[in-house]
Amino acid sequence: MTIRVPVVEKIMSANDRIASQNRARLDNARIYSMNLMASPGGGKTSLIELTIKNLAELLRLAVIDGDVATSIDADRAASAGAVAVQINTGGECHLDAVMLQSALRQIELDEIDLLIVENVGNLICPASFKLGTHKNVLISSIPEGDDKPYKYPGMYRGVDALVINKIDLLPYVPFDMDYFRRGVEVLNPGLLTFPLSCSTQEGLDSWISWVLQQTQSNRII
């Protein structure tokens, strides 16, 4: 451990330094940005598609998609009407600030109001790597089960908002919402939550209004 810890600390402090630079670039361009995290299949790409479709007439959107492989997600974001950049991490299980820095160079930042970064599908490692975005948003998904806050506490602790996706599946799977919410409350008291379904679009309006309001406030300040 005496060897390992300083190395880890150096990596994290280098990452944080570049994350600060990313934030400065985003602020200079008056871009509001969020880092969207979830398990594989939690619904990140579907939520991004719907966000683009609902806000494309009001905001200029960019999406940066992190995946181990393929450009499936960036292609979906581009089809929905956003500027889209794909990052393929190879084997890496999370995005880091350097990857975001490189991706930002591929976007005309002055032409963007809202940037959504879709992190790699993973409930553990993305929590440890700041990117420099303004908000960290986690998507939980009903069929994943109600014990996830208890089992992946690091992720729930560090986020600014929580989307509870696939609520249309509540009748078909065992999920105790009270137990789930108690776990969230212990880790992140008062956390803003958006229960919704990307399939039926129930609850979507609150999410869209929040994203719009946050982005507009950012441009007024």
Query: Contact positions toward a second copy, by CB under 8 A?
Result: 39-41, 67-70, 72-73, 91, 93, 120-125, 128, 141, 143-145, 147-148, 150-154, 166, 168-169, 172-174, 199
CB 221 → a second copy: shortest distance, Å?
Answer: 35
The H-assigned helical ranges of the chain are 4-28, 44-55, 72-80, 97-104, 148-151, 153-157, 177-187, 204-220
In angstroms, the Cα distances linking 151 to 108, 147, 155, 183 are 40, 6, 10, 10
- Written as one string, the DSSP assignment of 48-90 is HHHHHHHHTTTS-EEEEEEESS-SHHHHHHHHHTSEEEEEE-T
CB-wise, 42 or 132, nearer to a second copy?
A: 42
CB-wise, 131 or 155, nearer to a second copy?
A: 155
CB 25 → a second copy: shortest distance, Å?
Answer: 26
CB 51 → a second copy: shortest distance, Å?
Answer: 18
CB-wise, 141 or 215, nearer to a second copy?
A: 141
CB-wise, 151 or 219, nearer to a second copy?
A: 151
Spatial CA neighbour of 117 closest among 90, 142, 149, 89: 89
CB 16 → a second copy: shortest distance, Å?
Answer: 17
